[in-house]
Amino acid sequence: MALFWMFCGGMALVTLTPRWVVQALADLLQGCGWNGEGNPFFAPGTVNLVPFRTLGDGYILAGNLIMFLPFGFFPALLWRGCTWKRALAAGLCVTGFIECWQLLVGRAFDIDDLWLNTLGAFCGFWSWCLLDRAAPGWTRRFRVRQIQD
Protein backbone atom coordinates (compact mmCIF):
# COMPACT_ATOMS: atom_id res chain seq x y z
CA MET A 1 0.00 0.00 0.00
CA ALA A 2 2.93 2.33 0.71
CA LEU A 3 4.05 1.97 -2.91
CA PHE A 4 0.61 3.09 -4.13
CA TRP A 5 0.65 6.18 -1.91
CA MET A 6 4.22 7.00 -2.98
CA PHE A 7 3.06 6.77 -6.59
CA CYS A 8 0.12 9.10 -5.84
CA GLY A 9 2.49 11.61 -4.24
CA GLY A 10 4.81 11.52 -7.23
CA MET A 11 1.88 11.86 -9.60
CA ALA A 12 0.62 14.89 -7.67
CA LEU A 13 4.06 16.49 -7.79
CA VAL A 14 4.36 16.02 -11.55
CA THR A 15 0.80 16.97 -12.52
CA LEU A 16 -0.38 19.54 -9.97
CA THR A 17 2.69 21.76 -9.81
CA PRO A 18 1.84 25.40 -10.67
CA ARG A 19 3.21 27.04 -13.80
CA TRP A 20 5.72 29.27 -11.97
CA VAL A 21 7.38 26.22 -10.39
CA VAL A 22 7.51 24.44 -13.75
CA GLN A 23 9.00 27.55 -15.35
CA ALA A 24 11.65 27.84 -12.61
CA LEU A 25 12.56 24.18 -13.13
CA ALA A 26 12.74 24.68 -16.90
CA ASP A 27 15.01 27.70 -16.40
CA LEU A 28 17.24 25.67 -14.10
CA LEU A 29 17.50 22.83 -16.62
CA GLN A 30 18.19 25.26 -19.45
CA GLY A 31 21.07 26.62 -17.40
CA CYS A 32 22.42 23.07 -17.36
CA GLY A 33 22.24 22.85 -21.16
CA TRP A 34 18.86 21.12 -21.66
CA ASN A 35 16.26 23.04 -23.65
CA GLY A 36 13.15 20.95 -22.85
CA GLU A 37 12.06 20.70 -26.48
CA GLY A 38 9.43 18.08 -27.14
CA ASN A 39 8.50 17.67 -23.49
CA PRO A 40 4.85 18.68 -22.84
CA PHE A 41 5.63 19.14 -19.13
CA PHE A 42 7.57 22.27 -20.09
CA ALA A 43 4.89 23.68 -22.42
CA PRO A 44 2.72 25.52 -19.89
CA GLY A 45 -0.39 27.47 -20.74
CA THR A 46 -1.53 25.46 -23.76
CA VAL A 47 -5.07 24.16 -24.25
CA ASN A 48 -6.01 21.38 -26.66
CA LEU A 49 -9.72 20.67 -27.05
CA VAL A 50 -9.40 18.78 -30.35
CA PRO A 51 -9.55 15.01 -29.75
CA PHE A 52 -6.80 12.80 -31.19
CA ARG A 53 -4.50 15.75 -32.01
CA THR A 54 -1.58 14.43 -29.93
CA LEU A 55 -1.87 10.78 -30.94
CA GLY A 56 0.99 11.05 -33.42
CA ASP A 57 3.44 11.70 -30.59
CA GLY A 58 4.46 8.32 -29.20
CA TYR A 59 5.96 9.94 -26.11
CA ILE A 60 2.61 11.46 -25.12
CA LEU A 61 0.66 8.33 -26.03
CA ALA A 62 2.88 5.91 -24.12
CA GLY A 63 3.47 8.32 -21.24
CA ASN A 64 -0.22 8.90 -20.58
CA LEU A 65 -1.08 5.22 -20.78
CA ILE A 66 1.80 4.08 -18.58
CA MET A 67 1.40 6.91 -16.09
CA PHE A 68 -2.13 5.83 -15.18
CA LEU A 69 -1.65 2.04 -15.17
CA PRO A 70 -1.17 2.08 -11.37
CA PHE A 71 -4.54 3.82 -10.84
CA GLY A 72 -6.23 0.74 -12.23
CA PHE A 73 -3.77 -1.87 -10.97
CA PHE A 74 -3.21 -0.93 -7.31
CA PRO A 75 -6.85 -0.45 -6.23
CA ALA A 76 -7.71 -3.84 -7.74
CA LEU A 77 -4.70 -5.41 -6.03
CA LEU A 78 -5.27 -3.80 -2.64
CA TRP A 79 -9.04 -3.64 -2.15
CA ARG A 80 -11.87 -6.04 -2.77
CA GLY A 81 -14.80 -4.94 -4.86
CA CYS A 82 -12.77 -3.07 -7.45
CA THR A 83 -14.39 -3.65 -10.84
CA TRP A 84 -13.43 -2.50 -14.31
CA LYS A 85 -16.22 0.08 -14.13
CA ARG A 86 -14.83 1.51 -10.91
CA ALA A 87 -11.31 1.53 -12.35
CA LEU A 88 -12.59 3.36 -15.42
CA ALA A 89 -14.53 5.87 -13.31
CA ALA A 90 -11.59 6.42 -10.95
CA GLY A 91 -9.23 7.00 -13.87
CA LEU A 92 -11.65 9.48 -15.45
CA CYS A 93 -12.30 11.35 -12.18
CA VAL A 94 -8.62 11.60 -11.22
CA THR A 95 -7.50 12.72 -14.67
CA GLY A 96 -10.45 15.11 -14.93
CA PHE A 97 -9.43 16.72 -11.65
CA ILE A 98 -5.79 16.93 -12.77
CA GLU A 99 -6.64 18.49 -16.13
CA CYS A 100 -9.00 21.06 -14.57
CA TRP A 101 -6.40 21.90 -11.93
CA GLN A 102 -3.73 22.33 -14.60
CA LEU A 103 -6.01 24.73 -16.42
CA LEU A 104 -6.45 26.77 -13.23
CA VAL A 105 -2.72 27.00 -12.45
CA GLY A 106 -1.63 27.89 -15.99
CA ARG A 107 -0.42 24.47 -17.07
CA ALA A 108 -1.27 22.54 -20.24
CA PHE A 109 -4.80 21.14 -20.66
CA ASP A 110 -5.24 18.39 -23.24
CA ILE A 111 -8.50 16.60 -23.99
CA ASP A 112 -6.49 13.60 -25.18
CA ASP A 113 -5.04 13.26 -21.68
CA LEU A 114 -8.55 12.61 -20.34
CA TRP A 115 -9.22 9.55 -22.44
CA LEU A 116 -5.61 8.29 -22.63
CA ASN A 117 -5.20 8.41 -18.85
CA THR A 118 -8.59 6.76 -18.37
CA LEU A 119 -7.57 4.06 -20.83
CA GLY A 120 -4.32 3.65 -18.87
CA ALA A 121 -6.27 3.02 -15.64
CA PHE A 122 -8.47 0.55 -17.51
CA CYS A 123 -5.39 -1.28 -18.85
CA GLY A 124 -3.95 -1.31 -15.33
CA PHE A 125 -7.07 -3.03 -14.05
CA TRP A 126 -6.87 -5.66 -16.78
CA SER A 127 -3.17 -6.15 -16.05
CA TRP A 128 -4.17 -6.98 -12.50
CA CYS A 129 -6.85 -9.38 -13.81
CA LEU A 130 -4.24 -11.24 -15.87
CA LEU A 131 -1.84 -11.39 -12.92
CA ASP A 132 -4.62 -12.56 -10.60
CA ARG A 133 -5.48 -15.40 -12.97
CA ALA A 134 -1.85 -16.39 -13.37
CA ALA A 135 -0.97 -16.19 -9.66
CA PRO A 136 -4.11 -15.82 -7.52
CA GLY A 137 -2.39 -16.73 -4.26
CA TRP A 138 0.29 -14.10 -4.81
CA THR A 139 -2.10 -11.24 -5.54
CA ARG A 140 -4.35 -12.01 -2.58
CA ARG A 141 -1.42 -11.58 -0.17
CA PHE A 142 -1.46 -7.85 -0.90
CA ARG A 143 -5.14 -7.25 -0.14
CA VAL A 144 -5.95 -4.88 2.69
CA ARG A 145 -7.77 -6.97 5.25
CA GLN A 146 -8.64 -4.28 7.75
CA ILE A 147 -8.08 -0.55 7.90
CA GLN A 148 -6.69 0.49 11.27
CA ASP A 149 -7.65 3.76 12.96
92-143, pLDDT tens digit by residue? 999 998 888 888 777 778 899 899 999 999 999 999 889 988 988 887 777 7
Report the predicted TM-score, pTM, of the whole model to 2 decimal places: 0.70
**Distance from C-alpha of 101 to C-alpha of 80, rounded to nearest angstrom:** 30
For strands 47-48 and 109-110, give the pairing.
Answer: parallel
Q: What is the largest CA-CA distance in the chain?
A: 51
> For residue 52, what pLDDT is reported?
85
> For residue 140, what pLDDT is reported?
78
- Are 129 and 76 contacting, i.e. CB atoms less than 8 angstroms apart? yes
- Considering only CA atoms, which of 101, 104, 98, 138 is closest in space to residue 121? 98
> For residue 148, what pLDDT is reported?
63
Q: What are phi and psi of 25, to 5 degrees?
A: -65, -40
In terms of phi and psi (left: phi > 0; alpha: psi -120 to 50; beta: otherwise), the region of 24 is: alpha
**Distance from C-alpha of 45 to C-alpha of 99, rounded to nearest angstrom:** 12
